[in-house]
Amino acid sequence: MNNYEIIYIIDANVEEGARKELIEKVNGIITNNNGEVVKVEEWGKRRLAYAIDYKTEGYYVYVAFNAEADLPKELSRNLGNNESVIRSQIVKLIEKKHSVKPRPVRAAAPAEEAEAEVVEETAAEASVETVEAAPAEA
């Protein structure tokens, strides 16, 4: 299972009833394929940043979901065939393995004890990452 999010734009001329049906249908495609709808946000009618098929407005819907890897393709194909959907985009959410960490700051101050100097020398041979850990052993 992967985490995804989709934004799709429904034609602003589609009436509320049909729109609700469409949103349910999209959610149904996800759940019927062993997926899980995590969150649905209706952003509502918005002005498009550029005209799509001569349309200047659209009804934005955002859905966060979990699904198997083959679902996004199927879902975007399905929405692509739907005339009420102006555009859609699915994004895979990737969990970051490493977070933003500050750059290791090299100690500029000279070592006070002879022992500390030895530690520094051995650390210099090792990779940069281990330099940070070295003072803890001293």
Partner 1 sequence: MSEDRQARHPRGNRKPRRKVCAFCVDKIEYIDYKEFRDLNSRMRRNINERGKILPRRMTGTCAKHQRQLSEAIKRARAIALLPYSAE
Interface ranges with partner 1 (CB under 8 A): 7, 9, 43, 46, 48-50, 52, 58, 60, 62, 87-89, 91, 96, 99-100
* Contact criterion met (CB below 8 Å) for 127 and 105: no
- Going 23 to 25 to 29 to 34, the CA torsion angle's sign is positive
Q: How far is the CB of 49 from partner 1 (least distance, A)?
A: 4
Q: Which is nearer to partner 1, 62 or 135 (CB)?
A: 62
Tokens 């049909």 belong to residue: 18
CB of 34 to partner 1, least distance (A): 26
Identify which of residues 16 and 95 has a Cβ nearer to partner 1 in the complex: 95
With respect to partner 1, which residue has the nearer C-beta, 102 or 110? Answer: 102
